[in-house]
Chain A
Amino acid sequence: MATDLNLQVAGIKDEYKYGFRDSDDNYAFKSGKGLTKAVVEQISEMKNEPAWMREFRLKGLETFLKKPTPTWGGDLSELNFDDIRYFMKATDRQGRTWDDVPAEIKNTFDKLGIPEAERKFLAGVGAQYESEVVYHSLREDLQAKGVIFTDTDTAVRDYPDLVREYLGTIIPIGDNKFAALNSAVWSGGSFVYIPAGVKVDIPLQAYFRINAENMGQFERTLILVEEGAQVHYVEGCTAPMYSSESLHSAVVEIVVKKGGRCRYTTIQNWANNIYNLVTKRAVAHEDALMEWVDGNLGSKLTMKYPAVYMVGPGARGEILSIAFAGKGQHQDAGGKVVHAAPHTSSRIISKSISKNGGRASYRGLLKVTDGAKGSKSNVVCDALILDPASRSDTYPYIEIDEDDVKIGHEASVSKIGEEQLFYLRSRGLSEAEASTLIVSGFIEPLVKELPMEYAVEMNKLIQLQMEGSVG
């Protein structure tokens, strides 16, 4: 029960718990700063990639260099692409078992509680440390059913046909500047393949984190869910603190075939100097269901709008998004749903919290193409603003080219209610405790959608964010 967990974690006070970092002397390879053709070629060479992959990267680079930096969304003017290191390899080889994982890295995972997660879920663990996946395992019975869960580098080597068929088809290289950048320098990320009819009953999870200063992280994830198959992929992230800018720019592509289901859950808590510019998109075929559950905390600027393109009749898309913007942070998050077939339905629920001068923006696209008859969509975005210095805005874009549709859109902005605070305080709760409770209540409808462990982590993170924010 979420309530009990809530209670268990109430009281965590160690603000710097997620601020630990390992020394970065042990890295096997670091690229220089800045992005050139030579760097891209070097990455491809180090990874021993086939020619097609190298071409893919070079095309990405070319597109990246051509495309202007977006001027909508958040402020990217301080982002200096020449001051970023685009590749770093944490260790020379890939850990097969837990014992093979280097002690220092294990240590980091320990602090993140990964072994526990492993014990609890006994599922595949793909943990991305810096740019490359160092530890990965998959439950044997899943393997026997033909489930593939590996890092994308390995997939290029071992499943080239699958990767080649889909990579860059959901999010083309030229989709946006950051998708192009990722295409050029990507490293790590997960490759998941669920064969037709296979239902994975436990969440597959991967933990990410960036460690070195100015270290870019460009993971590339590709998830293929065949007809009638089901999977829940979970990605959690806590990051240490740094002194200078850092860029995280991932691409996640998902295909859910007829009657399949995929849920992708993310909780990200980046350090306050990170630009988190992520492109996530899924295509849902006939009667397929795609769900994004997306929690964004921390970072300097997050721009992230998970998308579902419903291309087959009866396809469904759900996007649940939570954003918490603290001091000096801008969360520009939301979702996109595109109804490109009849009788498709979608729902976007977005909850944002801003405090201490933070800014949370909801940016969403709802598109219904001509012929997508009988489609339904409902968008609800609620913003909670904790103090007068903080800000929230809503940018809903709606393009409807079909008459026979049912569309709902609600947006609300509330301040932490004086009456709510007073009511709780009159029962003995301090101002800070009361605010924390109100905030956790505000996001509860989304938190209860998370796997239990993530619900605990989410509440813990919110608690940390709230501490010292009031009074």
Chain B
Amino acid sequence: MLMSKVLRIENLRVAIEGKEILRGVDLTIKQGEVHALMGPNGSGKSTLSYALMGHPNYEVTGGSVTIDGEDVLGMEPDERAKAGVFLAFQYPTAIPGVTVANFLRHAVTNVRNPERKEGQDLIPMRDFRKEMRQEMDELGMDHEFARRYLNEGFSGGEKKRAEILQLAMLRPAFAVLDETDSGLDIDAVRIVSEGVNRVSAKHSTGVLVITHYERILTYIKPQFVHILFGGQIVEEGGPELVKQLEAEGYDWIRAKYPEAARLAAELEASQQDQGVGV
């Protein structure tokens, strides 16, 4: 491996509408590594992904994120994409009237030529289309799919596949997959996972798989497993941790980390007061 970048998250604190959701998260991912992030509903997994990608509503109140020492938090979302960060969304957004192909050609052009000025040529149609079709074939997607409007009327599984198609085309250094397995049928989990593995093998992508279930991790095999609870990573280990959660659930975590459990319960209660509970 020629270059190996390091994505370092240190003591990251994130608030939404003034409420602190992440209370100091530490996580380091090297290119080529596979990490899994698990944790109960509402523990802040998606919050971490959004904050990494630079969503304007997620306010970073402390800590740092760097790639090879370079600050990421000061970057706009598009700059982060160009710096090699990719997020497969838990709930991808529909863009009516914009075809998958048109969108993706813009995306690929920008990410592959970070120096491109707006208005300069897009990557040649022919090359682009050929490459896109190859990736679609590998993901078992109909070519017609490229003409559909992005995420509009896509089934749950189609949305997730489309996210992985984007991953494959954008070849990021670091990819966060936020519950990519949810909504996928059993075969699709395998196909999509193989897609992720292919990308990461080819481009040495460091992968952070966020999931509730063991299944996807039997295909995308993590070396490191982290458990997020009450806004902090409370447990870290290897694949055995997944087995334990699968067998026992989160009760032992709640028992072991009463302070985090208290914070989590508090947050949940405050959400319910406002009627926005998960």
Contact = CB atoms under 8 A, between A and B. Distances in A.
Contacts of A424: 95, 103, 107
B207 to A, nearest CB: 17
A7 B125 contact: yes
Interface string B205-229: 0000000000000000000000000
A441 interface: yes
B57 interface: yes
Interface in A77-111: none
A468 to B, nearest CB: 11
A3 interface: yes
Nearest to B106: A429
B110 A438 contact: no
B89 to A, nearest CB: 7
Given A418-B56, A426-B53, A441 B96 contact: yes
B125 A429 contact: no
A424 B97 CA distance: 14
Given A3-B102, A12-B119, A437-B98, A427 B107 contact: yes
Nearest to B94: A420
B122 A422 contact: no
How many residues of B sit at the interface, in one of the four size bands? 35 or more
B98 A441 contact: yes
A425 B78 contact: yes
Contacts of B166: 427
B122 A7 contact: yes
B147 interface: yes
A160 B167 CA distance: 67
B250 interface: no
A423 B92 contact: yes
B121 interface: yes
A102 B106 CA distance: 43
Interface stretch (B39-47, B80-88, B179-187, B196-204): B80-88
Contact of B125 (A4, A431, A440): A4
Nearest to B92: A423
B101 A3 contact: yes
B5 to A, nearest CB: 17
B273 interface: no
Interface in A426-471: 426-433, 437-438, 440-445
A11 interface: yes
Interface string B111-150: 1000000111110010000000000000000000001010
A441 B97 contact: yes
A441 B102 CA distance: 10
A6 interface: yes
B96 A442 contact: yes
B76 interface: yes
Contacts of B55: 422
A458 to B, nearest CB: 13
Given A418-B57, A429-B107, A11 B121 contact: yes
A422 B95 contact: no
B97 A7 contact: no
B126 to A, nearest CB: 11
A256 to B, nearest CB: 30
B11 interface: no
B65 to A, nearest CB: 15
Contact of B99 (A3, A420, A423, A433): A3
Given A3-B99, A427-B110, A433-B110, 10 more contacts: A3-B101, A10-B119, A11-B120, A12-B119, A422-B56, A425-B54, A429-B78, A429-B107, A432-B118, A443-B97
18 contacts: A7-B102, A7-B105, A10-B119, A11-B121, A12-B119, A423-B95, A425-B77, A425-B81, A426-B53, A426-B78, A427-B104, A427-B166, A427-B170, A428-B81, A428-B170, A429-B110, A430-B118, A440-B97
Interface of B: 53-57, 76-78, 80-82, 86-87, 89, 92-99, 101-107, 110-111, 118-122, 125, 147, 149, 166, 170
